[in-house]
C-alpha cells in the first residue's frame, strides 16, 4: 500500500465511521481472497452513488484501483485528484480494450481492482443486470472476485449532496435523519472451473450477481465494526 494511501485511510476512516455511520462486515473475506492467489483480486460491488469507490476503499482497508468514466478526466484539477487516488479512465460504450489491458496489468501486479458490473449507477438503488466484463477479467487473469454490497448510501445525505444529477431529477432526497451506510463482503468466487469463453465469463458474472443480491437481501448485516 502506498504510504499516501495508508495515511489518508488512517486519518479519514474514523471520520467516515462517525459522520456516515459506516459499518463493515466480512472484511476477512478479502484476506481469504488474497490467500487464494499470488496475483491480484477483484472487488465487485453494486453501484448507487458517485461516492461508491471511496466507501469501498474505506471498507476494504487496502489500496484500491477503480474505473471512472472518461468524461471525468477532462477537467484538469479534478482529473489530477481522481488519478492520484488510482482512478482509471474507461469508455462507457462498447469494449474499452485499453482499459481492459490496464486492469489486467494491475491484477498481474497483485493489485486490488474495484468494479461495478452494472456499468452505471442505479437510479432507485435497486440492483440492475451485470455486464460480463467482471467475469472476463477474472477468468482470463485467474483472480478471485470478492462480492460486496453497499446499503444505505442511496438514501443518505451523502448521496443527496454528491449525486446532484439524481437529486435534480427527484431520485435522491434529503433524509430527515442520518441513514447508516453498510458494506458487506462475501466469500471470494474463484475463477477455476469457468471456461475461457463468453459462456464462462457470463456464468461467473451471474454467480457474482447472485451473491451480491444475496448479500443485499439479508436485512440486518450484524454489528460490524
- What's the CATH code of the domain at 198? 3.40.1130.10
Strand order in the sheet with 22-25: 22-25, 181-185, 145-151, 41-45, 112-115, 65-69, 87-90
Q: What is the pLDDT of residue 218?
A: 54
Q: What is the pLDDT of residue 220?
A: 41
Whether residue 210 lies inside any domain: the answer is yes
Whether residue 180 lies inside any domain: the answer is yes
Task: Enumerate residue ranges in the chain where pLDDT < 70.
Answer: 1, 32-38, 72, 75-81, 93-94, 218-225
Instruction: Please state, in angstroms and as integers, the Cα–Cα distance from residue 65 to each residue in 10, 92, 112, 208, following that order.
Output: 18, 17, 6, 19
Whether residue 224 lies inside any domain: the answer is no
Name the pTM for this structure.
0.90
What's the pLDDT tens digit per position in 57-106? 999 999 999 988 777 677 666 566 677 778 888 877 667 788 899 999 99
Q: Which domain holds residue 130?
A: 3-216
Looking at the structure of the chain, the number of domains it has is: 1
Whether residue 221 lies inside any domain: the answer is no
Whether residue 223 lies inside any domain: the answer is no
**87 φ, ψ (degrees, to nearest 5):** -80, 140
Q: What is the pLDDT of residue 83?
A: 73
Q: What is the pLDDT of residue 1?
A: 61
Q: What is the pLDDT of residue 158?
A: 92
Whether residue 222 lies inside any domain: the answer is no
Amino acid at each position: 500500500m502506498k504510504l499516501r494511501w495508508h495515511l489518508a485511510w488512517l486519518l479519514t476512516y474514523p471520520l467516515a465511521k462517525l459522520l456516515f455511520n459506516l459499518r463493515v462486515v466480512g472484511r476477512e473475506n478479502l484476506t481469504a481472497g488474497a490467500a487464494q492467489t499470488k496475483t491480484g483480486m477483484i472487488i465487485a460491488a453494486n453501484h448507487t452513488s458517485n461516492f461508491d469507490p471511496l466507501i469501498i476503499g474505506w471498507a476494504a482497508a487496502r489500496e484500491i484501483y477503480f474505473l471512472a468514466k472518461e468524461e471525468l478526466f477532462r477537467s484538469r484539477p479534478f482529473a489530477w485528484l481522481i488519478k492520484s487516488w488510482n482512478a482509471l479512465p474507461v469508455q462507457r460504450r462498447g469494449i474499452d480494450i485499453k482499459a481492459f489491458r490496464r486492469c489486467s496489468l494491475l491484477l498481474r501486479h497483485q493489485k486490488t481492482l474495484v468494479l461495478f458490473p452494472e456499468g452505471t449507477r442505479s437510479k432507485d438503488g435497486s440492483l440492475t443486470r451485470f455486464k460480463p466484463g467482471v467475469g472476463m477479467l477474472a477468468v482470463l487473469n485467474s483472480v478471485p472476485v470478492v462480492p460486496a454490497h453497499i446499503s444505505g448510501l442511496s438514501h443518505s445525505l451523502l448521496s443527496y449532496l454528491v449525486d446532484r444529477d439524481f437529486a435534480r431529477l427527484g431520485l435522491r432526497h434529503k433524509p430527515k435523519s442520518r441513514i447508516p451506510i453498510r458494506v458487506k463482503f462475501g466469500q471470494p468466487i474463484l475463477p477455476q472451473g469457468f471456461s475461457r469463453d463468453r459462456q464462462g465469463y457470463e456464468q461467473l458474472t451471474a454467480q457474482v450477481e447472485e451473491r451480491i443480491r444475496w448479500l443485499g437481501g439479508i436485512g440486518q448485516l450484524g454489528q460490524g465494526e
